[in-house]
Chain A
Amino acid sequence: MTTYEKNLKILAKYYPGMDTIITEAKDHMEPDLEIVEESAYDGTTVLKIKKDHKSYYLNGKRNTKDPAKMWVDTLRELQRNAPVLMMGVGNPSYLQELVERTEKRITIIVYEPSLWIFLKFLEMVNIERWMEKHLIIFWVDGLEGMDEKQMRIMLGRILKYEMLNLSRRIILPNYEVIFAEKALNFARICREIAMREVVQFNTQQVFSNVMAKNLFANARYLCNGYKTTQLPGVIPKDIPGILVAAGPSLNKNILELKRAKGKAFIVAVDTAIKPLLKAGIIPDMFVIIDAMKPLELVELKEAKNIPLMTTLNASPEVLEYHEGMKFFYNEGYQFAERIFLKTGQPVQDIPSGGSVATNVFSLFCRIGIKTIILVGQDLAYTGNKSHADGTFQKVMEEEDTSNFMMVEGNYEEKVPTRTDFKVFLDWYNQSIEICQKQVADFRVINATEGGAKIQHTEIMTLSEAIDQECTKEIDIQECLGKLEPMLKEEAREWARKYLHGLPQEFEKLKVDSGKLKKSYEKLDKICNRKNIDQKEYLNLLKKIKKISTAMEKASTYQLVAITLSNAQYIMGNEEFMSEDTMQKEGKEIARKGILYTKNVIEMAELFREMAEDIFADLA
């Protein structure tokens, strides 16, 4: 059996069917480059790629090992499960050095943009022992199922925030020249995923402190509130959904929206409410999700009764001020899910995308609306302004955008944008493409009249979009008036009792955490002994695992865990670092465990008091 055949067998062992996929691709694909095999001075086969009248070696002739050795030297000691992203296997010495010299099991993602180089690689080295030692994922362009979308999903699962500072990346020399576009794209995908993780983590950090307070304060509204899953039953799908965001271009066409009223489902983001109402336009619904949104942004008498889509995490001041219908969607808070389940309908979430506007977009998709018109969705500093006039200030100040990143514009060649806007832009690009593949005739019209270009959208003025799409009369308030609150009387009573009982649940969590803390203290004691009783040590670890698993199931634990996200990050990050001896490892587990359970106990007590205060007067 040849090395190539052996490798196919090994790949099939770890990834069933991969051998067939490779063979089929080999039989059906045409080579897009010429590969020349040469012998190095030490007899090793080195590859030379001929492309576009140029030739490039993938490995040196005089020394085939040193560059790879030096690279692995610079990585220092890699932690367990650390992800290493490698583009290219045409010089197998990089992968070989990494695999052979890294003792802890790591995750290696090898992206090879050429099937033909990958096939040569399979002829050149035996990967059996490498696959045993580490988790190696070979991602090869041209193989079935290995497209960009799937790559994003795969990388998204591996590049978690806590893994980012443990990860390493290399594009093998000459790959960025031979496969310039693919190398850039690969780097871009990795950067976007990492950026998304960082933004998500930072947002969670900022909001975690106020989150619990907001959740408790807003939970009362669930008893008489509505669910977004009720909307598809009453909102017609054959009218356009108009998403009104608060980008600077909103000022250009806000008055046009008057013509769309009664002919579309107009949903505004919270920041757009003031300029809309001042222009005499009452949207059919507005949305707030921000935990720290100042009330002043929506504090207008006319806003009080406009139906609101919101979250439990949103600013309680706004929810208290607002008196109309409140629509909630599931955000995954376990304690709220228990109430949602009492509605007897499936629990459904809204893919967030990270901004209030992307939530509105997702809401339209969930309802089944096929034509979405975007207004004021600049995602850029059109005219060097972040938002429309009349939002945060009467006239927004122009900012210095000379150092901002530039993206393609709808009307201008390039427009300045910032990191979070870029994340939302990428989200739209992907989401619209997915929707268009899944839903026949799904269209997005970008009537922003400025700002960043969103892929897969039709660009037109709002006036043209209204003339073309808003052709059917509809009374949205009449539609919404048909709805009953999501909980029937009996379920409402149950929810009230459940919320009243939350302080006791936090008390139980506190007691369980105390037990867990004691187990960690015992572990620390055991590890102080000269000779550790291995059986006792392992049994105690089992017990710790059992208590923590039970504790994590409590709906109240999740709230504590989110609030302690920073501590969790440290724990998560250190989880991947291992010590040399059982004693050292045990002591480290105990140290972190005691620290964490101490925080959980304090937090559970704080939440118990908070819940008692808030739910005491729940009617």
Chain B
Amino acid sequence: MMKDWQDLYKSLGGISIDYLIYQKRDNIEQSKKIIPQIQKFVLWFLEENRYGIEAELYQGLSQNLVNILADILEALEQEDMVLMHDALTYGLLEYLELIVVNLKQEELVDDDV
């Protein structure tokens, strides 16, 4: 599973850099291709508190993630590149960073196994 999140992290990073550095304006099109992975990640995160995060914090993070997903879906519907960038780069990407970069060390048991 971690491999999936690493791939998603890379894809989102690429979309984000294209938007920020190269001023590419196709993040809606690019995001459409990875929507299934995004939904999978959100469900995976909400399914259970895998990292033993404090309950209240986990609840807050979960609620925030739901809001991020809602914004991504709204951005898709409205074709709003600003909202999409905001939700992906300053929302979802931070979760993935937390999992892929910071919590990787703590993940002793791969839940795929």
B-contacting residues of A (Cβ < 8 Å)?
Answer: 54-63, 66-67, 70-71, 74, 91, 170, 173-174, 176-177
Contact = CB atoms under 8 A, between A and B. Distances in A.
Does more than half of chain B's interface fall in helix, strand or loop, or is it mixed? Answer: helix
B31 to A, nearest CB: 14
Interface in B73-96: 78-83, 85-87, 89-91
Contacts of A66: 20, 89-90
A56 B82 contact: yes
Does more than half of chain A's interface fall in helix, strand or loop, or is it mixed? Answer: mixed
Given A67-B20, A70-B20, A60 B80 contact: no
B82 A59 contact: yes
A70 B16 CA distance: 11
Given A66-B20, A67-B20, A173-B81, A57 B86 contact: yes
Interface of B: 19-21, 23, 25, 71, 78-83, 85-87, 89-91
Contact of B81 (A55, A170, A174): A174
B20 A60 contact: no
A174 B80 CA distance: 7
Nearest to B71: A61
A71 B18 CA distance: 11
Nearest to A169: B23
Given A70-B21, A74-B21, A170-B23, A57 B87 contact: no
A71 B78 CA distance: 24
Contacts of B81: 173-174, 177
B20 A177 contact: no
A60 B78 contact: no
Q: Which 3 A-B pairs have the closest CB atoms?
A: A60-B86, A62-B90, A63-B90
Contact of A67 (B78, B80, B85): B85
A57 B86 CA distance: 10
Nearest to B75: A57
A60 B82 contact: yes
Contact of A61 (B23, B25, B86): B86
B90 A173 contact: no
The residue in A55, A57, A59 that gathers the most chain B C-beta atoms within 10 A of its C-beta is A57
Contact of B78 (A54, A61, A70, A173): A54
Contacts of A59: 82
Contact of B86 (A54, A55, A62): A62
Given A67-B19, A170-B23, A174-B81, 4 more contacts: A56-B78, A56-B83, A57-B82, A61-B86
B87 A62 contact: yes
Nearest to A68: B20
A203 to B, nearest CB: 32
The residue in B20, B23, B79, B86 that gathers the most chain A C-beta atoms within 10 A of its C-beta is B86
A59 B82 CA distance: 6
A592 B62 CA distance: 64
Contacts of A63: 86, 89-90
Contacts of A176: 25
